Amino acid sequence: MKKDAPLIELLREYGVSRRGFLKFCSITASLMALPPTMAPAIARALEQARRPSVIWLSFQECTGCTESLTRSHSPTVEGLILDVVSLDYHHTLQAASGTAAEEAREIAMKENWGKYLLVVDGSIPLGNPGFSTIAGIPNVEMLKEVAEGAAAIIAVGTCAAYGGLPHAAPNPTGAVPVAEIVKEKPVVNVPGCPPIPVVITGVLAHFLTFGRLPELDGLGRPLAFYGNSIHDRCYRRPFYERGQFAETFDDEGARKGWCLFRLGCKGPITRNACATTKWNNGTSFPIESGHGCLGCSEPDFWDMGGFYNAVSEPAMESGTAVAWGLAGGALAGAAAGLLNRRERKAARASHQRVTVDDLKREE
């Protein structure tokens, strides 16, 4: 198969049926909040699309984002769409290493200058260029060099989108997200630690279909996937509205599937598609498995006061809490959001750039 053959030919070669392909197009349309009538347009565009070159750079991260992507249930059409993207550089997945790997990146950049997609996972350390390098090149330099020739940039994972774990207080490496370095190119954030695989492939499919990035919210996230909070779509929401909360992970409330808000669930302040697309081929998501949402797709989620502390506790006894739940569910959600914004602001304010010399002084 020729490298620049239309995607539909490649998909046929992979044994994807016409029916399976159209099903993928309707699911993608619905995930992107497009009317069902857009599905044929997506199908037509994807059929004719050429394999775009994708350069994937990994900086300060745990490789969870790539793990997430490769764990998408196999074989899925989304997986095949990714297979037929020309992934020209990805130092975890590529066979080449050393000089050959870097040559592959340089050739892909030269041959596709101005047209390739740059995907980045991981944050960029500014505290010292030597903190994280690839082939001896500091992350910040490699990002600037590759971003210059990219058509668009997708920051995959909370580390690339907002700094993530490396950015958590006291941010010892001076980690920053992609958008803080790249200002002159469109950047879409696909946060989550890690992000949902279908959200990554959905953004890629949108780019392949329309030749541009999807509509974004104020934090650079595609509205189609991050337009609602987990709480908005949570199946445990009726318990929240009735003020029925699990107080421990093994009490009667927990066994009955009551709301996990008091056990630290960050669903009310977290925007992501976990409650609708779920994980592992639609099997489940953390709240369905009995654990609160950690808020991993939000900026500074590591510094939001502890995974098991409620973002805002109802300050009354359980009898009153029922009335509170009935009367003020939505209001409390808004208050939690406000409180959390304050906490985030404080967390942000407390982020001091820490140098190696500072660390030495503390020893």
Q: In the numeric block, which tokens belong to residue 352? A: 């001091």
Query: Among residues 61 and 303, whose Cβ is nearest to ligand FSX?
Result: 61
Report the sign of the C-alpha dihedral through residues 301, 304, 309, 311, in that order.
negative
CB of residue 257 vs ligand FSX: minimum separation in angstroms? 28
Is 295 an interacting residue with respect to ligand FSX (CB under 6 A)?
no
Instruction: Spell out, one character per residue from 264 to 283, where the chain touches ligand FSX: x when CB under 6 A holds, - when not.
Output: --------------------
Instruction: Pick out residues in 145-164 that bind ligand FSX (CB under 6 A).
Output: 157-159, 164
Return all residues near 259 (Cβ < 8 A) that are at least 6 apart. Answer: 236, 237, 239, 240, 244, 245, 246, 265
CB of residue 175 vs ligand FSX: minimum separation in angstroms? 10
Instruction: Spell out, one character per residue from 116 to 135, where the chain touches ligand FSX: x when CB under 6 A holds, - when not.
Output: -----xx-------------
Query: Among residues 168 and 223, whose Cβ is nearest to ligand FSX?
Result: 168
Q: In the numeric block, which tokens belong to residue 185? A: 């190119």
Query: Among residues 10 and 178, whose Cβ is nearest to ligand FSX?
Result: 178
Return all residues near 57 (Cβ < 8 A) that are at least 6 apart. Answer: 89, 118, 119, 120, 121, 122, 134, 139, 142, 143, 146
CA 2 to chain centre: 32
**β pairing state of 53-58 and 86-90:** parallel
List 80, 154, 165, 269, residue binding ligand FSX (CB under 6 A) = 165
Place of tokens 């790997």: 101
4-12, 46-54, 61-69, 97-105 -> range binding ligand FSX (CB under 6 A) = 61-69
Is 193 an interacting residue with respect to ligand FSX (CB under 6 A)?
yes
Q: What is the DSSP string of 97-121?
A: -HHHHHHHHHHHHHHTTTTEEEEEE
14-22, 55-63, 169-177, 202-210 -> range binding ligand FSX (CB under 6 A) = 55-63
List 16, 45, 61, 271, residue binding ligand FSX (CB under 6 A) = 61
Q: Nearest-CA neighbor of 119 among 96, 94, 143, 100?
A: 143
Query: Among residues 16 and 119, whose Cβ is nearest to ligand FSX?
Result: 119
Question: What backbone torsions phi and psi does residue 117 show, to the nearest 5 degrees?
Answer: -95, 135
Q: Which residues bind ligand FSX (CB under 6 A)?
A: 61-65, 121-122, 157-159, 164-165, 193-194
